[in-house]
Amino acid sequence: MTHHRLNYVEALHAHGYRVTPQRVTVLDAVCRAGGHARPAQILALAREGDLHIDRSTVYRSLEVLVKAGLVLTAPGESGIDTLYEIVQETPHHHLRCTVCGRETELDGESAARLFENLERETGYRLTGDHLMLTGVCPECQASSNNQVVE
Amino acid sequence: MTHHRLNYVEALHAHGYRVTPQRVTVLDAVCRAGGHARPAQILALAREGDLHIDRSTVYRSLEVLVKAGLVLTAPGESGIDTLYEIVQETPHHHLRCTVCGRETELDGESAARLFENLERETGYRLTGDHLMLTGVCPECQASSNNQVVE
DNA sequence: AGTCTACTTGCGACAAATCGCAGTAATCCC
DNA sequence: GGGATTACTGCGATTTGTCGCAAGTAGACT
């Protein structure tokens, strides 16, 4: 249960949100899902904790938790659906191979350097610390030359 | 009508897809939408061209067009919905300010440098040439110090 | 602790998106 | 060009996500 470490009470209050049993249940569900989770999975896990929690409540809670910075979203495989993930101490990014589908985590350090450059160029302070990059992994590059079309 | 420039026939065939009137209609709709478009808008535009095109056909066509590399997806404002955009000759990225909501385009050049570094570090060949970065723009940084919570 | 206010929840209705299936048509091959 | 093959479309049914509203409850203040 990761979320005991991050004080969700403070995070919610800081954003003007109330702490309700339902929101804690949903937060817990996202934690227990581990890694990326689809809404359906979160709904199911949430109902293990609260048998009668409503679907709309789960969706609304997710929205609140994301805004409070407790949960992250990431685009799913197809780029159409949305995945949810509990926030971690160390920011990280994802690298998905479009050929074999495998996913690698990219530590925040390499990304931080890149962000620094971008911040210098644009003047923005970048906060989106959870990118989903896509590419072709070394193994797949080696084994196939016929996938390159574009 | 941008898509006459990119030979969609070849792109579709290269990925093993057939070229159907419906898919051309949808591709055309995405073009005419210009910039980011929500599915509802695309559906409406598609029906201008083909009065009886089915909703599921539009969704399935979008999926195919994305896989064929003719259309790009981007996460919408909330991070939950998906926007579609016609592919362009010059890759570009988006920078959205989380405070004022404004969007800036980031030219491909700065990003290319960013990608180069990442490719060196990871060994991946990066293809996701359409990132949606979020941050706080210079103006909003100047005017507010009370938004920083985390 | 009790009361008040306004944010939240659950519900029902609605809209958006997905899925399986039977008929149709794009492509291949001759 | 004609026929066979198999992907694609449209349809209906289902699932998923959203919205408005009345009842409930967290948080603030006394």
Q: Is the minimum distance from the CB of B11 to strand D below 7 Å?
A: no
For the segment A133-148, what is each residue's pLDDT rounded down to a tens digit? 888 888 888 765 443 4
Per-residue pLDDT at A66? 94
Q: Between the CA of B36 and the C1' of D6, what is the distance in angstroms?
A: 34
Per-residue pLDDT at B129? 65
Q: Which domains does chain A have, with CATH numbers?
A: 1-88 (1.10.10.10), 90-150 (3.30.1490.190)
User: Is B75 at the interface with chain A, CB within 8 A?
Assistant: yes
Residues 6+ apart with CB under 8 A from A142: none
For the segment A56-72, what is each residue's pLDDT rounded down to a tens digit? 999 999 999 999 999 99
In this complex, which of A79, A104, A110 lies closest to B73 when CB atoms are compared?
Answer: A79
Residues 6+ apart with CB under 8 A from B5: B89
How far apart (Å, rounded) are the C-alpha atoms in residues B108 and B111? 5
User: How close does chain B come to A70, measured CA to CA in Å?
Assistant: 9
Q: How large is the average pLDDT for residues A119-136?
A: 81
Contact B95 A15 (CB under 8 A): no
Q: Is the minimum distance from the CB of A76 to strand D below 7 Å?
A: no
For the segment A6-54, what is each residue's pLDDT rounded down to a tens digit? 689 999 999 999 999 999 999 999 999 988 999 999 999 999 999 999 9
Q: Which nucleotides of D are covered by protein (CB under 7 A)?
A: 7-12, 15-20, 25-28
A128 contacts B133 by C-beta, under 8 angstroms: yes
3-state secondary structure of B125: strand
For the segment A72-114, what is each residue's pLDDT rounded down to a tens digit? 988 877 667 889 999 987 778 888 887 777 788 887 777 777 7
Contact B135 A114 (CB under 8 A): no
Confidence label for B117 from pLDDT (cuts 50, 70 and 90)? confident
Sign of the torsion formed by the C-alpha atoms of A97, A91, A70 and A116:
negative
User: Is A9 at the interface with chain B, CB within 8 A?
Assistant: no
Query: Which nt sits closest to B17, CA to C1'?
Result: D7
Give the strands of the sheet with A103-107, arranged side by side.
Answer: A103-107, A92-97, A132-136, B125-126
* Helix or strand holding residue B94 (H, E): strand B92-97
Query: Which nt sits closest to A64, CA to C1'?
Result: C8
Q: Which segments of A28-122 are extended strands (E)?
A: 71-75, 82-86, 92-97, 103-107
User: Is B16 at the interface with chain A, CB within 8 A?
Assistant: no
